[in-house]
Amino acid sequence: MEIIKSNKQNDKICLDGHMYTLYYETSETIKWRCSKKSSVRCPAVLSTDKQITEYEKIHRHNHLPNRKEVMVTKALMNMKEKSSTTTTNLVEIFANGVSKLDKSAKAQMPSEDTVKRTLRNHRSKGNPIDPKSLEDCIIPHTWTINSDGHRFLLNDNGIVDENGKCKADERIVIFATDEGLLILLSLQLG
């Protein structure tokens, strides 16, 4: 029995080529239902203790196990994790994830474009919305500093009035680290 961690609602349990998702909890057990519950109406349920160490199978699956599908799901979860916790480009994340799969598992992988689209959506979840106009382009404070808490936004001429609307016709935004500026200053020009 193996648990693929995501957020709790989306945690998956892999067991003997089948996957289970959270169904409901009782005071002593957690019930997990087959991930094919809605697609093929599989009645299989897995009952585990709260620590997810012991399990009991309830009802049989009405379909064959698919270990390759489990491998693909694990690879996809891994890619999602990487895309939201690193800035590695998606082509590389995809290539890395796929390289660990054998040939027949690769064949069950969704297309590269589909996966990259999913990863892109996943990655942009924590990002501000893409501005449609200058007025939408409001830079939240967390995006004006770097991970050390030092300033990153040096200048933004977007004047925001009391209604949160930007008055500038042309927007000039300058991002740089102080460290980067010092390197720039030290350069011999000419």
Closest separation between CB of residue 15 and Zn ion, Å?
A: 11
61 binds Zn ion (CB under 5 A): yes
Residue placing its CB nearer to Zn ion in the complex, 33 or 116? 33
Q: Count the site residues for Zn ion by CB under 5 A.
A: 5
19 binds Zn ion (CB under 5 A): no
Residue 150: CA count within 13 A, CB half-sphere: 7
115 binds Zn ion (CB under 5 A): no
Contact status, residue 122 vs residue 80, Cβ threshold 8 Å: yes
Closest separation between CB of residue 131 and Zn ion, Å?
A: 45
d(CA 70, CA 112): 18
Which of 77, 109, 90 minimizes the C-alpha distance to 4? 77
Stretch that binds Zn ion, among 55-63, 75-83, 110-118, 141-149 (CB under 5 A): 55-63
42 binds Zn ion (CB under 5 A): yes
Residue placing its CB nearer to Zn ion in the complex, 63 or 122? 63
Residue placing its CB nearer to Zn ion in the complex, 36 or 74? 36
166 binds Zn ion (CB under 5 A): no
19, 44, 105, 166: residue in contact with Zn ion (rule CB under 5 A) = 44
Tokens linked to 131: 């501005």
d(CA 37, CA 45): 9
Three-state secondary structure call for residue 57: strand
Tokens linked to 164: 């949160």
Residue placing its CB nearer to Zn ion in the complex, 61 or 106? 61
Residue 73: CA count within 13 A, CB half-sphere: 21
Strand (E) or helix (H) holding 155: strand 153-156
46 binds Zn ion (CB under 5 A): no
Sites of contact with Zn ion (CB under 5 A): 34, 36, 42, 44, 61
